[in-house]
Chain A
C-alpha cells in the first residue's frame, strides 16, 4: 500500500493537500486506542511530504548571505560580514570567538545561527591547529557530540571526521587520566604504558624504562597511529620510536649482564661456604625459589612477544 493510498489522495506535490488529507484521516482514527493505524498513517504522511519535496534537501538552507536581507541594522550587518570573513580564512577559533562576541552584544539573533553552524562545522573538521579546549567548547555549544543531530544526516562526511576527532580526544583524555591513577598495589601495565608514551624526549636514564614493553604499550602505540591526524603532534616522536624500537642497544644489555653476573657470583660465593656445615643445604632453598620465579617470568615474556 503506497503512502498515497494510505492518505486517500492522488499523488501530489502540494503540501497543503497532503496535510489536509492527513488531518482528516487523523481525526477519524484518534479516538480509538489503535496505535498501529496511527503509526501507519504517520509513516505515510512523512513519506508523502518527503516525496512532495522531490528528494530536495530541507526547504530552507539559510546561509548567512540569504539572511542579510532581513536585517536593516548596520552594526549587525557589519558583524555578519566580519564573521563571514573570518570563516573564509578557515580559522575556527577566531570565527567562533567573533561570533560569540557579536552574539553577546546582541547583534546576531537565532535567525543567523542556522547558516553559521553549518559553515563552522566545515571549518572545524578541516582545522588541524584547533586546540582541544576550543574544540570541546564549540562541540558542546552546538551539541555536535549528540547521536541525533539534524545536521548529521545532511553532512555525513563532516560528521564522520568530527566523530573521529571526538574519539581521538576522548582516547587522549583517557590516556592522561590513566597515567595519573594508581590501581592496586603494583603498577599496572596500563598505567606504565601511558607513562611510557606521554612525556617529552627520553632522557638517558629513562631508556630502560621505555624498553620495558607490554602488550598494553603496543596497543597504545597502535592507537596513537590511528589518531595520528588529530593528536599526533602531542607526542614526542623520538620517544615513540624508542617505545616501538625492536631492541635495547647492545651496550646497555652487556652492562646489564655484567652487573647480574657479579651479583650471582657474590651470592654463590657466600653460600658455598655454608654448604659444609650441618643442614647447610637448606639455605639454597630461597635461591631455588628465586630461579623458578625468574624462569616463569622469562617464559611469560617470550610468550607475549610471540603473540605480538
Chain B
C-alpha cells in the first residue's frame, strides 16, 4: 500500500487511494489535519500534533514548529536537552502520520509519496527524502505540491485544460501552470518563493502589535524569544483567521497580570501585508511568461494552502486574472488529495484511467564562463552560461561546448551553478570539476559539458575532452545541509531510542495540553476554574479506569469549549 503525504509547514495530512477515490485519514484525535509540531514532555516522551502545538505557548523551550523552513540547512533546533535536525523533526511528524494510517487501515505501510514545494532546491528535496527514510518509509517519489493540487482537480476534466495553481502554504509560495491533454498531465512552468507563506502574515500582525502596544506594555522585542511570544503568535494567528469572516478581530493578551486589548481591522491588515502581497505577483508573472500561455486561455485557477482563504489574497488573485478562482476542494486538503491520487496512479489502480505526469526543472543550471565580445577584443568575466534552462521537461540531458581561453592552458575548471542571474556571483554554486586538457593554442581545445537531470531532481555533470576523449564526472556532494546515507543510518539509531507517547493516550494528552495553555492565557476567576478542572481530570486519569478517563475528558473538553468557542484548526 502506498500513502500520499502532504508534509506542510503548519499542518500535515495523509491520504490514500481507496474504492476509486482519494481518502484522507483522520489522526488519533479524529482530525484530518495534524499540526506539524513536535514537543518533548518532562519525562522525555515525544508528542506530535495538536498537543505539541498547544505546548508551543506553555513550553516554548521544549517545542518546535515550522521546521520545514529549515529543511536543507545545517541548522539544529533544541528541544529540552536534545538537539534535532529539521529532517528528524519532520520524520517524527511522518511517523505519527504513518501510525495513524496503519491503525486506520489495519495493515503495515512502508511506501509513501511525499509532497514538496515545487520551488524546493536540490538540498531541500534531499532533506525531505531523508526525513521519509528516517520515518521508516521507502519514498517512492517526491511530488510537487502544485502538481498534486492540479491532480486533485484535473481528473474531473474530460477535455483539454490549462490550470494555474497558486499554492500559499504556511511557509512557501508556489505557482505552477499545468496542461492536461490526451491523458498527459504536463507541467508547463513553475515559479515560487521559498520564504513567503501564511506565517509571514502572522509575523506582520505580531510586529504591528509589538510596535503599537508591546512597547508601552513592556513586552520584549521578538528576537529575544520570550515565552509571551508563543501566546501572542497564537492570538495573531486566530485574528488572521477571524478576519476571513469578520471585518475586524480583537487580540487579547495577558501580560504581567494585565489584559492588553488591540483591535485589527481588515483595512489595517491589508495595509500591513501590502509588501507581502507585492511579492506574490512576481512568481505568477514569471510562470505565465515562461509557459507562454495567455492568462485569458487558462481554464481554471486553483487555490491550495490554508493561507489562500484570506480575503485579501483572493481579491488580489481575482483582480490579477479578472475572474474568481475555483474552490470545490478545501484548500487545506487539496494537496493531500492530489498526493493520494498519485499514490493510486503508482499502484496502477484500475479505477484511474492512465495519466502520465511530466514535470519540469524549477531552476536554471549552468556553468561559469568568460565571454568574448567583438570577436574576443573584450572579455566579460564571470558570466553564467545556462545549460539546462528552467522549466525544461525532465528527465533532461543537455550539453554545451566550452573552449580554452589562453594559449597553453593546461586545465579547465568547470564551476556548476544554480540560479537565474546573468552573473555567477548572484547564483548558488553547487560544485566544481577540474578537467585537464592538452596544451594548445587558445580556443583549440574543447570540452563537451553535459548536464543530466533526472525525475527526482538529481543533477549529474559530465565533461569530455574532445581531443583525448577523457571523461570526468561530478557527483554533487558535500553540501552541509544534506545527510549522507551513513549519517542517516546513525540518526535512525538515535531516533529509535526516543520514546514516543503511546497513541491511545494521544487524546488525553491533547486535552491536558489545551487546558494548560488556556490556564496560562486566562486570568482571575476563569484561571482558578481551569486549575480545578485540570486537577479533577488528572485524578480521573490516575484512577486507571479507561472509561472514566474518557468521560472526564469529554467533560473537560466541553468546559473548555465554553471558554474558547472556536476550534483552533
Interaction A to B: yes
A106 part of interface (Cβ distance < 8 Å): yes
A106-B296 in contact (CB<8A): no
A110-B182 in contact (CB<8A): no
The answer, among A23, A111, A113, for a CB contact under 8 Å with B184, is A23
Q: List CB contacts (< 8 Å) of A136-169 with chain B.
A: 141, 143, 145-151, 163, 166-167
B356-A27 in contact (CB<8A): yes
B181 part of interface (Cβ distance < 8 Å): yes
Which chain A residues lie closer than 8 Å to B356 at the CB level? 23, 26-27, 30
A13 part of interface (Cβ distance < 8 Å): no
The answer, among B284, B292, B364, B422, for a CB contact under 8 Å with A110, is B284
A234 part of interface (Cβ distance < 8 Å): no
Min distance, Cβ B56 to any Cβ of chain A, angstroms: 37
Min distance, Cβ B285 to any Cβ of chain A, angstroms: 6
CA A20 to CA B364, docked complex, whole Å? 29
* A and B contact pairs by CB, cutoff 8 A, 29 listed: A19-B181, A23-B181, A26-B184, A26-B358, A27-B354, A30-B356, A35-B397, A60-B292, A62-B294, A70-B296, A109-B295, A109-B320, A110-B285, A110-B321, A111-B296, A113-B285, A113-B288, A143-B420, A145-B421, A146-B421, A147-B386, A147-B420, A148-B386, A148-B420, A149-B289, A150-B289, A166-B422, A167-B380, A226-B378
Q: List CB contacts (< 8 Å) of B374-405 with chain A.
A: 378, 380, 384-386, 389-390, 393, 395-397
Q: List CB contacts (< 8 Å) of B506-533 with chain A.
A: none
B389 nearest in chain A by CB position: A148
B378 nearest in chain A by CB position: A226
B427 nearest in chain A by CB position: A147
Q: List CB contacts (< 8 Å) of B291-321 with chain A.
A: 292, 294-296, 319-321
B366 part of interface (Cβ distance < 8 Å): yes
Which chain B residues lie closer than 8 Å to A38 at the CB level? 395
Which residues of B are interface residues toward A (Cβ below 8 A)? 181-184, 282, 284-286, 288-290, 292, 294-296, 319-322, 354, 356, 358, 364, 366, 378, 380, 384-386, 389-390, 393, 395-397, 420-423, 454-455
CA A39 to CA B395, docked complex, whole Å? 7
The answer, among B182, B319, B422, for a CB contact under 8 Å with A146, is B422
The answer, among B289, B294, B384, for a CB contact under 8 Å with A147, is B384
CA A79 to CA B386, docked complex, whole Å? 38
CA A59 to CA B293, docked complex, whole Å? 9
The answer, among A30, A62, A145, A150, for a CB contact under 8 Å with B422, is A145
B398 nearest in chain A by CB position: A39
B294-A23 in contact (CB<8A): no
Which chain A residues lie closer than 8 Å to B393 at the CB level? 42
Which chain A residues lie closer than 8 Å to B295 at the CB level? 109-111
CA A147 to CA B286, docked complex, whole Å? 13
A110-B288 in contact (CB<8A): yes
Min distance, Cβ B290 to any Cβ of chain A, angstroms: 6
A73 nearest in chain B by CB position: B322
The verdict on A146 contacting B183 (CB below 8 Å), with A26-B356, A58-B292, A109-B320 known, is no
The answer, among A27, A58, A106, A114, for a CB contact under 8 Å with B183, is A27
A39-B396 in contact (CB<8A): yes
A35-B319 in contact (CB<8A): no
A270 part of interface (Cβ distance < 8 Å): no
Which chain A residues lie closer than 8 Å to B354 at the CB level? 27
A24 part of interface (Cβ distance < 8 Å): yes
Which chain A residues lie closer than 8 Å to B183 at the CB level? 23, 27
Which chain B residues lie closer than 8 Å to A58 at the CB level? 292
What 1/0 mask marks residues of chain A from 29 to 68 whose CB sits below 8 Å from any chain B CB?
0100001001100100000000000000011101000000
Which chain A residues lie closer than 8 Å to B389 at the CB level? 148
CA A282 to CA B407, docked complex, whole Å? 53
A22 part of interface (Cβ distance < 8 Å): yes
CA A111 to CA B380, docked complex, whole Å? 37
B284 nearest in chain A by CB position: A110
CA A151 to CA B184, docked complex, whole Å? 28
Which chain A residues lie closer than 8 Å to B378 at the CB level? 226
CA A226 to CA B378, docked complex, whole Å? 10
Min distance, Cβ B484 to any Cβ of chain A, angstroms: 24
B422 nearest in chain A by CB position: A147
A20-B182 in contact (CB<8A): yes
CA A272 to CA B366, docked complex, whole Å? 71
Which chain A residues lie closer than 8 Å to B385 at the CB level? 147
CA A111 to CA B321, docked complex, whole Å? 7
Which chain B residues lie closer than 8 Å to A151 at the CB level? 289
A35-B454 in contact (CB<8A): yes
Which chain B residues lie closer than 8 Å to A149 at the CB level? 289
CA A303 to CA B71, docked complex, whole Å? 57
B315 nearest in chain A by CB position: A106
B288 nearest in chain A by CB position: A110
Min distance, Cβ A222 to any Cβ of chain B, angstroms: 10
B319 nearest in chain A by CB position: A106
The answer, among A60, A163, A226, for a CB contact under 8 Å with B294, is A60
Which chain B residues lie closer than 8 Å to A22 at the CB level? 182, 184
B286-A143 in contact (CB<8A): yes
Min distance, Cβ B104 to any Cβ of chain A, angstroms: 30
B422-A114 in contact (CB<8A): no
Min distance, Cβ B516 to any Cβ of chain A, angstroms: 47
The verdict on A147 contacting B366 (CB below 8 Å), with A110-B295, A110-B321 known, is yes
CA A143 to CA B422, docked complex, whole Å? 10
Min distance, Cβ B358 to any Cβ of chain A, angstroms: 8
Min distance, Cβ A249 to any Cβ of chain B, angstroms: 34
B285-A147 in contact (CB<8A): no
Which chain B residues lie closer than 8 Å to A143 at the CB level? 282, 286, 420
Min distance, Cβ B119 to any Cβ of chain A, angstroms: 15
What 1/0 mask marks residues of chain A from 276 to 287 whose CB sits below 8 Å from any chain B CB?
000000000000
A23-B181, A110-B320 given. 5 additional CB < 8 A pairs? A24-B182, A27-B354, A35-B455, A114-B294, A147-B385
CA A226 to CA B385, docked complex, whole Å? 23
Which chain A residues lie closer than 8 Å to B390 at the CB level? 148
Min distance, Cβ B503 to any Cβ of chain A, angstroms: 38
Which chain A residues lie closer than 8 Å to B284 at the CB level? 110
What 1/0 mask marks residues of chain A from 89 to 111 whose CB sits below 8 Å from any chain B CB?
00000000000000000100111
Which chain B residues lie closer than 8 Å to A110 at the CB level? 284-285, 288, 295, 320-321
8 closest pairs, A vs B, by CB? Answer: A23-B182, A35-B395, A146-B420, A110-B295, A23-B184, A111-B295, A148-B389, A147-B422
The answer, among B289, B319, B384, B397, for a CB contact under 8 Å with A109, is B319
Which chain B residues lie closer than 8 Å to A114 at the CB level? 288-289, 294
CA A151 to CA B397, docked complex, whole Å? 23
A111-B420 in contact (CB<8A): no
CA A291 to CA B531, docked complex, whole Å? 92
CA A226 to CA B284, docked complex, whole Å? 37
CA A45 to CA B449, docked complex, whole Å? 24
The answer, among A20, A42, A150, A167, for a CB contact under 8 Å with B290, is A150
CA A225 to CA B64, docked complex, whole Å? 58
CA A117 to CA B182, docked complex, whole Å? 33
B274 nearest in chain A by CB position: A104
Min distance, Cβ B348 to any Cβ of chain A, angstroms: 9
CA A187 to CA B182, docked complex, whole Å? 69
A36 nearest in chain B by CB position: B397
CA A70 to CA B282, docked complex, whole Å? 24
CA A149 to CA B421, docked complex, whole Å? 10
Min distance, Cβ B437 to any Cβ of chain A, angstroms: 25
Min distance, Cβ A2 to any Cβ of chain B, angstroms: 20
Min distance, Cβ A7 to any Cβ of chain B, angstroms: 13
Min distance, Cβ A42 to any Cβ of chain B, angstroms: 6
B294-A109 in contact (CB<8A): no
A106 nearest in chain B by CB position: B319
A170 nearest in chain B by CB position: B423
A223 nearest in chain B by CB position: B378
CA A279 to CA B354, docked complex, whole Å? 105
B363 nearest in chain A by CB position: A148
CA A109 to CA B386, docked complex, whole Å? 31
